[in-house]
Amino acid sequence: MDDAPILICYDGSEGARRAIRTAAALLGDRRAVVLDVAPLLTTAESYASLGPMTPDFEELNAEDALTRAKTGARLARSVGMTAEARTALDAPTWEGVTSVADEIGAAVIVLGSRGLTGVRELVQGSLSHQVAEHAGRPVLIVPPP
């Protein structure tokens, strides 16, 4: 398990940056895969795809996600981890996270939490809770300060 990589979810938010810093502090210099899961299509893209000339939204979403993941990997390297960027296209997002975790044999999944509770969590959803429920492996959820 010591050589298994850490999977770090990164979406560019302060919570994701905090998760990277916390993972480095707690888990040390480990190999990490920094992942951003892009949607197959956003709601706006779904409507736009009905038009006569539509760009390849999946490709654009994947490129955007990879740019974010590369930023997260640079941050992970700056705090002492050996990190590579990775992206996936999936919906719901938790399925992309757990699929990549299974594929790479992740020792742990690390992600930040927005700290939602109650009705706000029900309405807006909680990626961290969904991942923890479905991951089948340890999940480190880093709460907001």
Q: Which secondary-structure segment (H or E) carries 8?
A: strand 6-9
Mean pLDDT of 68-76: 97
pLDDT at 18 over 70: yes
Could you tell me which residues are beta bridge partners of residue 138?
none
Query: What's the pLDDT tens digit per position in 73-111?
Result: 999 999 999 999 999 988 899 999 999 999 999 999 999
Name residue, tokens 């940056």.
Answer: 17
Mean of per-residue pLDDT scores for the chain: 84
Is residue 56 scored above 80 in pLDDT?
A: no
Closest CA to 69 of 45, 33, 108: 33
pTM above threshold 0.75:
yes
Residues facing residue 140 across a β-bridge? 110
Return the pLDDT at 116.
52
18 near 112, Cβ under 8 Å?
yes
The CATH number assigned to the domain with range 6-142 reads 3.40.50.620
Give the C-alpha separation, 127 to 12, whole Å. Answer: 15
**Sequence ranges of the domains in the chain:** 6-142
Place of tokens 């920094």: 34
DSSP state of 140: E
Span 26-35, average pLDDT: 93
